Homo-oligomer: A and B are copies of this chain.
Amino acid sequence: MTMSLPADLWPDVQPETARRLMLAGVESFARRGYHATTTRDIATNAGMSPAALYVHFPSKAALLFAISRSGHEQALGLVESAAEENDSPVEAMREIVERFVAWHARRHTVARVVQYELGALPETEYEVVAGLRRRIERIVRDLVVTGVESGDFTVTDPGTAARAILSLGIDVARWYTERARKSPEALGKEYGELALRMLGATSHRR
């Protein structure tokens, strides 16, 4: 493999062979795109035969779905926990942006596949992933509304503001590389500040 992917990706996926195929899938899809990648490419990349791939994933689309669902579940998980752990809308939003941005930077190869190959998912699988996306968007939008009601934020259109905040994080996956001059965490902290400014947060300095 030409790209290095962290060994702690998908620690819950068993057996090891399935995890190796997901890693090879991510690497191949990120490099050449979903449609230009064959199951043979992925199996070769994982050091297996195409037949061995089908033991774990019935199709290339099933492999993309496993990668995409898992990525969206990770992103949803960190957004949910940041929202739950902080009572103040300002601190909750800051944590959401910090974690969401840091995840897209640290996992930029996975995140590229997750964010840019959605259109390649079959309809049923797409609907599952779209449901996860809607939950992420709803948490952020509801938090903007809560903050406006509590007087912490001043925003005319919470939907547009929420989308812009998520865009900041998602686009990090497009440009971030290990050669970037900021660590994922440092970038997350800066973007957390920028997002709070966008929302007109009144007293947001730590």
Contacts and interface: CB of A to CB of B under 8 A. Distances in A.
Given A33-B35, A36-B35, A191 B164 contact: yes
A74 interface: no
Interface string A135-159: 0000000000000000000001100
Nearest to A157: B190
Interface residues of A, number: 29
Contacts of A194: 160-161, 164, 198
A59 interface: no
Contacts of A187: 160
A135 B168 CA distance: 21
A134 interface: no
A200 interface: yes
A172 interface: yes
A185 interface: no
Contacts of A34: 33, 36
A126 interface: no
Contact of A198 (B116, B170, B175, B197): B197
A174 B33 contact: no
A149 B116 CA distance: 38
Chain copies in the assembly?
A: 2
A167 interface: yes
A32 interface: yes
A98 to B, nearest CB: 14
Interface string A82-114: 000000000000000000000000000000000
A161 B168 CA distance: 11
A24 B15 CA distance: 44
A167 B199 CA distance: 17
Given A116-B116, A167-B175, 16 more contacts: A32-B35, A32-B36, A33-B34, A33-B35, A115-B174, A116-B174, A160-B187, A161-B194, A164-B168, A164-B194, A167-B171, A167-B174, A168-B168, A170-B171, A171-B171, A194-B198
